[in-house]
Structure 1
Amino acid sequence: MTSAPEQTYESILVDSDGPVGTITLNRPDQLNSWDWLMSAEIGHALGRFDADDGIRAIILTGAGRAFCAGAGLLPAGRTFDGSLTREEAEARYPGPRRPADRIRTPVISAVNGHAVGAGMTMALRADIIVAAEEAKLGFVFNRRGVIPDADLLWSLPRLIGYSRAMDLLLTGRIFSGTEAVELGIASRAVPAAAVVETANRIAADIAANVAPVSAAITKLVARHFLEETDRNAALELERDLFRWAGRQADAPEGVNAFREKRDPRWTLSKTKDFPVDLFDDRI
């Protein structure tokens, strides 16, 4: 891999290999523990990748044997006391930032090992999750004397159903990557050694074969529809966007590439050609 230009971080590594960008949580001696600095750095790196039309898929993974073991444990039990504020961390990295579920580029979480608490909320922001079969996963907030955050009480019941969500959120129990697939949290479970390779294979397939603007519309509108209660309004928006896509240059190109058995040559830009007049993702 070649390093992304002119930017270094303290808690993450950022690389790109052709159209695939990779963000690696890089505190292996602390099991990649989360804090506001890491959050700010991830948001900044995602923003840079999303602003680059050359990057068509992003992988988020962890260094060492863990993905992320949750919030960093500070002395005297000060895990959640706000010692490092969000504002202080983000001041180090000015510029646009959005979480993985709000950017136009598809994001794949390669959960290569244990992920609990904030590690799980981070992974769930991705569009696709590949988990290590034997990874220990958990929403352990209630076992730490706090409550689930990062909109888990809203999002997880919608993703996997209320009963299954409560089984995980109320108990805070540990479950495996294999069970995560059974629950509908993860997309695939593979041996730990194959997680990043599998994520790279998915990312390369998206980068080569999926139109960037089509991918952006699909992921952002699908997330938006988790909140849409009017099915007719959702259907109308979907129809408008389908009609718009069908009139763009990538539509005939996709058909021609299929017929000619060649790789497609997409021309629409995720940064310049997204139909904000139909669906404004900047709000």
Structure 2
Amino acid sequence: MTAEISSPYSAITYGVSDRIATVALNRPEARNGYTLTMAHELEHAFTAADADPDVQVVVFTCVGKDFSVGADLSGGGFDVTTTDAGSDWQEPAGRCSKTIFGMNKPVIAALRGVSVGGGVTITLSCDFRLASHDSRFSFPFSRRGIFPEGGSTWYLPRLVGVSRATDWMLTGRLFGAQEALDAGLVTSLHDPAEVLDAAYAMARDIIANTSEVSTAVIKQMLNRLSGLDSPIPVHALDSRLIAGLDSHSDAAEGVSSFLEKRPPHFPLSVPGGLPAWLPWLEPGATP
């Protein structure tokens, strides 16, 4: 599959084809070292994809053999320039992972080669991480005398458990694809030449068989509710959603397509079809 390139970014590429947006890191000469420009462009591209009615799923990948070696240190240090230290400045990796977290549309990361530091933390909020057999990962912050970013100390324990997150974070050691799969960091492993095709196949399956609205609501319920101390607020939200099914056209189509043994054609889209009362859509809600 080849996505039509539609935006003039300098550090990434962006294209849309067949309801799939492809966002790719595009600094292969620097092994996709992460820069402030890349952070800005990723935030912009993911925001654009989420708002685009022609996009249902996003694939996040790279140009070149390595997904990303993390922060670009070619200048001799970390470029964290901010003109107003007292503002709500967001560090560069978090600009990407935080944007993905808030998206309504599922994001599938297709990883190969090295993904370390910011090069892996920017993917932790993705809904799926597919990796190649040659993938290697590291959270090397302790080995550089710096601190974790991208919200990684929140995302990583939720994905792999506190014990494994502690191992990887405190030692900063490099580990391989099979260890990442066994721990739950990645969803599946593929040959390097096939990982992107596998991501597109997953995207096409989601597009063909799922409701955009249901997928968006489920994604945000998992992100925002699964860590609560009590299930009672979740029961309350479930009840309000289920109570509205009689007037929910996607639910009617889902039942009809099942009974008629045919593929579904869900009429609602995102964001217009989302219930406006959802707590995370209300003004002032935490992004």
Q: 1:175 to 1:245 in 2, by over 3 A?
A: farther
State the match for 1:39 in structure 2. 39
Distance 1:10 1:244 in 2: 45
Q: Shift in Å at residue 254 of structure 1?
A: 1.3
Corresponding pairs, count:
273
CA–CA distance in structure 2, aligned partners of residues 27 and 201 of structure 1? 25
Q: Which residue of 2 aligns with 1:134?
A: 134
Q: Which runs of no fewer than 5 residues in structure 2 stay unpaired?
A: 91-96
Shift of 1:100: 1.0
Shift of 1:83: 4.5
Deviation at 1:275, TM superposition (A): 1.4
TM-score (ref. length: structure 2): 0.88
Gaps of 5+ in 1: 91-96
CA-atom RMSD in angstroms: 2.3
Distance 1:143 1:233, change over 3 A: same
Could you tell me which residue of structure 2 aligns to residue 94 of structure 1? none
- d(CA) in 2 for partners of 1:261, 1:85: 59
Using a 3 Å threshold, how does the CA distance of structure 1 residues 4 and 274 change in structure 2: closer, same or farther? farther
State how 1:95-174 maps to structure 2 within 5 Å.
Answer: 99-174=99-174
Cα pair distance change 1:279/1:145, threshold 3 Å: same
Whether contact under 8 Å (1:117, 1:138) holds in the other structure is yes
**Are 2:80 and 1:82 aligned?**
yes
1:16 aligns with 2:16: yes
Would the aligned equivalents of 2:117 and 2:138 in 1 still touch at CA under 8 Å?
yes
User: Using a 3 Å threshold, how does the CA distance of structure 1 residues 112 and 85 change in structure 2: closer, same or farther?
Assistant: farther
Describe the SS at the equivalent of 2:263.
coil
| 2:164 matches 1:195 | no
Q: Which residue of 2 aligns with 1:176?
A: 176
Contact 1:220 1:281 in 2 (8 A): no
Alignment-mate amino acid for residue 247 of structure 1: S
1:23 match: secondary structure: strand
**1:45 alignment partner AA:** A
1:175-221 Cα deviation digits (max 9, x unpaired): 11221111011111111111100000000111111100000001111
Cα shift at 1:45: 0.9
Q: 2:61 is matched by which residue type in structure 1?
A: T
- 1:213 corresponding residue in structure 2: 213
Equivalent-residue separation in structure 1 for 2:98 and 2:79 (angstroms): 24
- Per-residue deviation, 1:113: 2.1
Cα distance in 1, alignment partners of residues 174 and 232 from structure 2: 39
8 Å CA contact 2:3, 2:21 repeated in 1? no
Q: Secondary structure at the match of 1:193?
A: coil
Corresponding residue for residue 243 of structure 1 = 243
Q: Percent identity?
A: 33
- Compared with structure 1, are the counterparts of its residues 84 and 13 closer, same or farther at alpha carbon in structure 2 (3 Å cutoff)? farther
Distance 1:150 1:246 in 2: 41
Task: Report what 1:3 is aligned to.
Answer: 4
Note closer, same or farther for the CA distance 1:2–1:60 as it changes in structure 2 (3 Å cut).
Answer: closer
Question: Does residue 271 in structure 1 map to residue 265 in structure 2?
Answer: no
Residues 213 and 269, structure 1, Cα contact 8 Å, conserved in 2: yes
| Equivalent residues of 2:46, 2:100 under 8 A apart | yes
8 Å CA contact 1:47, 1:98 repeated in 2: no
Query: What is the TM-score with the length of structure 1 in the denominator?
Result: 0.89
